[in-house]
Amino acid sequence: MHDGVMTSNLDTKNSSRGDKARAKKYLVEFLPAMLAYVVVLLLVVVFGDLTSNKPSRIIWALLPIVPLVAVVWAVVRHLHRIDQFQSQLMYQSLSIGFVGAVAAAVTIGFLEIAKVNVPLAGWMIFAAGMLSWVLGNAILLQRKS
Amino acid sequence: MKNRLRELRVASGWTQANLADELDVSRQTINALETGRYDPSLPLAFALARLFEQPIEAIFEDDQPAVEHAKRRSETTVH
């Protein structure tokens, strides 16, 4: 009985110190970048006047790329920090996300050839990719860990 | 791949988190190893062997029976 209690204490699912440190570093780098992205998006929507004919609209439309680079940088650094098993899961789920985005792009492409107007096609492809990535990640986590 | 990781870890009085810190991997990886859902890379297998002071083959069990392996080798050998 005593041994059983001890064993169950050793089977706790608490995060390791390394896991916590890695998660903290990722949040410290990712959250400000994501926050900056959201702020820039809001600025673009409120002040960008993207539907006008002003040349500045192109600068406004491209402005979100700046914080997006910081988001990508944070994700890439995180990929370098995680271990082999986690990166294997991450690359597999990213592959699923890529397939989801490509499938959406091809579908929308065919719909446009058939003269069906797909509103916000770029955003639809983005959403399909992200959704496939998140779902793929959840399924892989469930199966492998 | 079957292994004795959980048994060795418990014998050392470590939680999965402790072992993860010893090996500089995630707790999730230790769990996947113990449940046989993930086979370690050679460097990780060697790190485990060093940590528990056991040869790799004493920690990990080859799932493939020797007879089957020999049969497959003879089938693939070019004469």
Q: DSSP for B37-50? A: S-PPPHHHHHHHHH
Q: Is B55 exposed, middle or buried (0-12, 13-18, 19+ CB in 10 A)?
A: exposed
> Is A82's CB within 8 Å of B28's CB?
no
Complex-level ipTM = 0.77
Which residues, listed in sequence order, are joined to residue B60 by a DSSP beta bridge? Answer: B3
Strands B2-3 and B60-61: antiparallel
Residue corresponding to tokens 């297998």: B45
Q: How confident is the model at residue B69 (pLDDT cuts 50, 70, 90)?
A: low
Q: How many CA atoms lie within 13 A of A6 on its CB side?
A: 10
Position B1 scores a pLDDT of: 82
Q: How confident is the model at residue B65 (pLDDT cuts 50, 70, 90)?
A: low
State mean pLDDT over A33-47.
Answer: 95
Asked if pLDDT for residue A1 goes beyond 50, the answer is no
Does the beta carbon of A53 lie under 8 angstroms from any beta carbon of chain B?
no
| Contacting residues for A86 by C-beta, under 8 A, at least 6 apart | B26, B28, B29
Asked if pLDDT for residue A55 goes beyond 50, the answer is yes
A·B CB contacts under 8 A: 68
| Contacting residues for B55 by C-beta, under 8 A, at least 6 apart | B49
Asked if pLDDT for residue B67 goes beyond 80, the answer is no
> Is A10's CB within 8 Å of B29's CB?
no
Please give the Cα distance from A87 to A91 (Å, whole number).
6
State mean pLDDT over A55-68.
Answer: 93
Position A9 scores a pLDDT of: 81
Sequence letter at residue A122: G
> Is B27's CB within 8 Å of A10's CB?
no
Question: B72: distance to nearest CA of chain A, Å?
Answer: 29
Please give the Cα distance from A84 to A46 (Å, whole number).
43
Asked if pLDDT for residue A26 goes beyond 70, the answer is yes
> Is B26's CB within 8 Å of A19's CB?
yes
Please give the Cα distance from A104 to A114 (Å, whole number).
15
The single-letter DSSP state of residue B61 is E
Does the beta carbon of A80 lie under 8 angstroms from any beta carbon of chain B?
no
**% chain B with pLDDT above 90:** 73
R_g of chain B, CA atoms, integer Å: 15
Position B68 scores a pLDDT of: 65
- CA torsion sign, A119 to A123 to A127 to A128? positive
Please give the Cα distance from A73 to A30 (Å, whole number).
9
Position B66 scores a pLDDT of: 65
pLDDT tens digit string along A69-128?
999 999 999 999 999 999 999 999 999 999 999 999 999 999 999 999 999 999 999 999
Please give the Cα distance from A18 to A82 (Å, whole number).
10
